[in-house]
Chains A and B, each alone.
Chain A
């Protein structure tokens, strides 16, 4: 910097001018992300020139800076928002770098990095020049400017002006470097005008009810706040296609911009799956004459609202697009940031407002011969000469990451349009962006080539894309043996009769034994007349007989219908009847579950009768005389799944499909005879077929799990001791195992499927097992259709198609979609089911032939939205319909809704899944009052447990959209609605349970009589609850206990029953807090209980944990302390486990304040600090405060009175009455009356009441004998002002406190200060003294 210039900067004040709305917008983006380089404008060139040219350029630039204020601006914060400063003198910001040692790639990286170095917006100039010396007379020069100060038009005008001055020719136009200064003022005047409000109203109408965002289906989860990081991909339209664009534009009186925007909209509509797309498009903002040649930033973005209906032709779309663009242009004088503020659209901080994709058409007519300099892939022969210097383009990507996607066009090369597609790397990979660019080119080509054919008839995908889709979507072709499952197993049994086939019920079944059992079952089935073509229902407990039964049915040539005894009887009955099963294979002990009206055949008898079922032996030849073995096309099973109309539907699967699955998975897994698979899935879920049969077709063994499905700890133990090498389970089961403390099994191979595998779970599983495969497939294509080993670092995908399986991703018109584009997964091949059992219409709807993408192939429409990535990985993007997966179960919400709708008194029902819970919203018929718990109970009569809503919520009416459809997005957040009135916990066990429930269920308070499952609890939360019980009481609580003891009161009784044996500390956590912050400890009052703090804890500011200390004597007889000093010492031992060192925060109500005072004194003696002692209406321990002596009956009467206080009720048992009863009867009297009003748990006994009373008496003795010395401590005393007894202004504390004694008056009397409404005031008063205290 030259000394003169710097003097000028210091002595002359800058001129201050306001900033325009657009500049304010960019300022705030910069404030939020000061490293953001997305708004850097760039011009770069390779230059061959002598040093004299450089000197000349420097002179020209210096002149320009002096002449034009616009080149001397910066921005600083003002009153509200930034203000623009025009400095009087600004030095050139020239940055030299010797790049002669850099190779071309390194130089390019360097230029890119330098161009992205952030600007300090508060310091002028907001532009700079990087000079790289690449040879004796060769340079690379890059001009970088921040968009807040200049726009691209300004940059181009500057370039033209510099060129004219260097050439010594006349300027192309009179450059205006000062008009910008009035722009913001003119803009605000305009925005206050009637013209602007008219435009705003029009814009509001035009953009009304537009989609709040378009989901462009990215590769990566969108970060909560965009990073403004991006990439660029160039693309080129061929000269022929470009000519087509020109011709079409002319024919339709559109511009080329409109023509290409229409094609871009088609692409965005396909990418987002929605017809409406909002696209941002920049306009010059130079509508006024005075701005024509002004330097500055005037660009404004308008939003074009596109609508794509592929039933129309491209020509029709163009006509509509033309009108929509013109409509958008009408509003171009309204600055975009202002418009956003005025329209206040629904905001999502992870997305740019109103639009997420942009399209720009840039044309610089006055720089025509330098057009190539602005392309990412310029014509390599381009060169211009300016004043003896030779310039060649040096393309560097710029302005990346402003939005999700941004297409920039307007340039041409060799007669073809070229452009650049910018993408945000938060969500897109480079491969996907390249694919999108290729798709855009192919889309333009297809549309322009046939503009008069309905767009949905045009094919998608170019040849290269189609070839890739074929490669990725076709599984290996393998010849399928013409056989059946029982034949394969018989062959195996013939080869290895003595090998173990099944491990179940503590027994091992050899292949020979299994085969004999299968034969016995088959014979029984045939005898019952259920041969080929018939259905046989199988209802059996998990065990070897179940496997024998399923295979026996198949051996007999019939198809099995698996029935899970856990399902409600009504549902089992429906399945048996709908399938037309002619026989029920079952067990005597399940008699209660037998569907009526089907002849039952007891497996117990069949298998007991079978000769020589145990021991070794040979395998007989199949099929007794007269038997007809099944053919591969015969039905193997009919499996029922949730049906959207309210009735389950049966999926009919032939042998061929089952064989294809088993042989394909055998190849995929390499399952060997030494492998064992732990089978955990219920037979009513089709994936059980893999678990029960894959090991048998591979000569391995099936290890049957027969424990409770939700018992993670037991399953984890079984995995370890069973020696299983394979297991298949749903992500829900894996989460359950993880929650139960399972930490992996290095020898275990894992198949995970049935619902989406979350990345975090894959991250957990993959390193803890021998291998992890994600498997995917609907029941209708037989268990699984894809499988793939998961490598968490690469993300989770669905894997590759199984053998003889084809995957097609199609759009709504049945066309294959391009890689990167979402579509509905269609599956074809050998795994296809025959269809839905006796549901022809439904079968025709889901199993389709004749789609354009594969006219001759039968395909199953999965309803799953998926996408191929550019590198051929198949990703899952949710459902297209209302089918949902919840904890591994396939749920048709329609079935849940239909069930409720059929109930008396229900006018309307909607089911949704929220936060992993199934919630039903119901509207009652007029005059009817619905009881949620009763409705749930009746739903459970017909629906399986997983289809019974976790919550039932009654609404006066359902929210509806403008066109009267139910608006699911506006259903209120599920808050538990129960017909149980609130009852608060009554002892430490219940307090702790209530806290845990509140945390798990996300509720502020839980009544001790409300049912866990009615409050939205589900099996996974139950597992977590069991873990919490283990942590708290060291007790293993089977999850089944929660099912039978569903309320806090019931569960507390179970825990209390043997808690006497366990020693539990007196510390009860009322509320958990931030572990980085210190807790507050509250000591029990007179009587030893701590209920009095429940209300207070609710109102204390969140963040710090709150622990209460109750008297140990409450739990164990003879444990009551009779001195305050002893009590404090004992409590401190526990307290210091929770917080080893001070400073401590202590408090207590009534007598609790005295204990806190003593505890603080003891801590002080130990060298620990206490920064808060909050005594709530605590009378000082001084002789004057000791009450008159009282007899036992009086004390007992007081005790009864105090017992009831925490429950907001009264228990008035006069002393005289008690005195006449004698001690034992007096106790019984109090016990009965306390239990009757809910003050004591119903299971309380005299011993417990006695302990309560002992603690009460002990406290009394302790208080009467505690007269401490004065201390230097500080005390915060909260005094109940409505207490009638007068104990002085500081309740007698003055002589004891040598530190500061702060007295705060709170409303209420001695008791009521701890209860509503006064407890909130007390909490607020304490909160003042509980500021931020890091641990």
Chain B
């Protein structure tokens, strides 16, 4: 969490949308940010790739394997990661 201390929620959303649409092979515009990732076809393998992209972008390591299940939409996940990048605990996710 040293590399990009100032990354914004918007930046995180962009990373998320870009990596998920790339992973699923769909245009970013088709990704509804209030709908669960799984609804778009994200599976655990895709989730792993997305999580790694997020680690790189946010300068975080060891994100939980179930991140995209615990915070199942872009709208929920992005602010949660923002908290984490600030060194604060993540808010309770839906899957907990």
> A residues bordering B, Cβ < 8 Å?
249-251, 253-257, 283-284, 286-289, 292, 322-323, 326, 329-330, 332-333, 361, 363, 365
Contact = CB atoms under 8 A, between A and B. Distances in A.
A162 to B, nearest CB: 22
A253 B61 CA distance: 26
B41 A250 contact: yes
A255 B44 CA distance: 8
A249 B69 contact: no
Contacts of A286: 48
Given A254-B38, A255-B38, A289-B52, A363 B45 contact: yes
A293 to B, nearest CB: 11
A250 B39 contact: yes
A256 B66 contact: no
A292 B69 contact: no
Interface string B38-54: 11111111001000100
Interface string B47-79: 010001001100001101110011010000000
A326 B95 contact: yes
Nearest to B63: A287
A957 B79 CA distance: 58
Contact of B36 (A253, A288, A329, A332): A253
B65 A332 contact: yes
B69 A365 contact: no
B44 A329 contact: yes
B55 A253 contact: no
Contact of B65 (A249, A256, A287, A361): A287
Given A253-B72, A255-B38, A287 B56 contact: no
A254 B48 CA distance: 16
Nearest to B68: A326
Contacts of A322: 38, 69
A315 to B, nearest CB: 14
The 7 closest A-B pairs by CB, nearest first: A253-B36, A255-B43, A253-B38, A326-B69, A329-B66, A253-B39, A250-B39
- Interface size, B (range): 20 to 34
A203 to B, nearest CB: 14
Contacts of A323: 95
Given A326-B69, A326-B95, A329-B69, A284 B48 contact: yes
B2 to A, nearest CB: 16
Contact of A284 (B45, B56, B62, B95): B45
B77 to A, nearest CB: 14
A330 B39 contact: no
A292 B72 contact: no
A481 to B, nearest CB: 67
A365 B45 contact: yes
Contacts of B66: 326, 329-330
A365 B41 CA distance: 14
B48 to A, nearest CB: 7
Contacts of B44: 255, 257, 283, 329
A361 B44 CA distance: 10
A368 to B, nearest CB: 10
Contact of B52 (A254, A292, A361): A292
A288 B62 contact: yes
Interface string B81-96: 0000000000000010
19 contacts: A250-B41, A253-B38, A255-B38, A257-B43, A283-B65, A284-B45, A286-B48, A289-B52, A289-B55, A289-B61, A292-B52, A322-B38, A326-B66, A329-B66, A330-B65, A333-B65, A363-B43, A363-B45, A365-B45
B38 A249 contact: yes
A776 B38 CA distance: 53
Contacts of A363: 43, 45
Interface string B19-45: 000000000000000001111111111
A257 B37 CA distance: 15
| Residue among B44, B69, B95 facing the most chain A CB atoms (10 A cut-off) | B44
Contacts of A292: 52
Contacts of B38: 249-250, 253-255, 322
Contacts of A326: 66, 69-70, 95
A256 B41 CA distance: 8
Contacts of B61: 288-289
A253 B42 CA distance: 9
B81 to A, nearest CB: 16
Contacts of A254: 38
Contacts of A251: 39
A925 B62 CA distance: 61
Nearest to A281: B44
B65 A289 contact: no
B93 to A, nearest CB: 10
Given A253-B39, A287-B65, A329-B66, 8 more contacts: A249-B41, A256-B43, A287-B48, A289-B55, A292-B52, A323-B95, A326-B69, A363-B45
Contacts of B95: 323, 326
A212 to B, nearest CB: 27
Contacts of B43: 255-257, 361, 363
A287 B66 CA distance: 11
A996 B38 CA distance: 70
A254 B52 CA distance: 21
A287 B68 CA distance: 13
Contacts of A361: 43
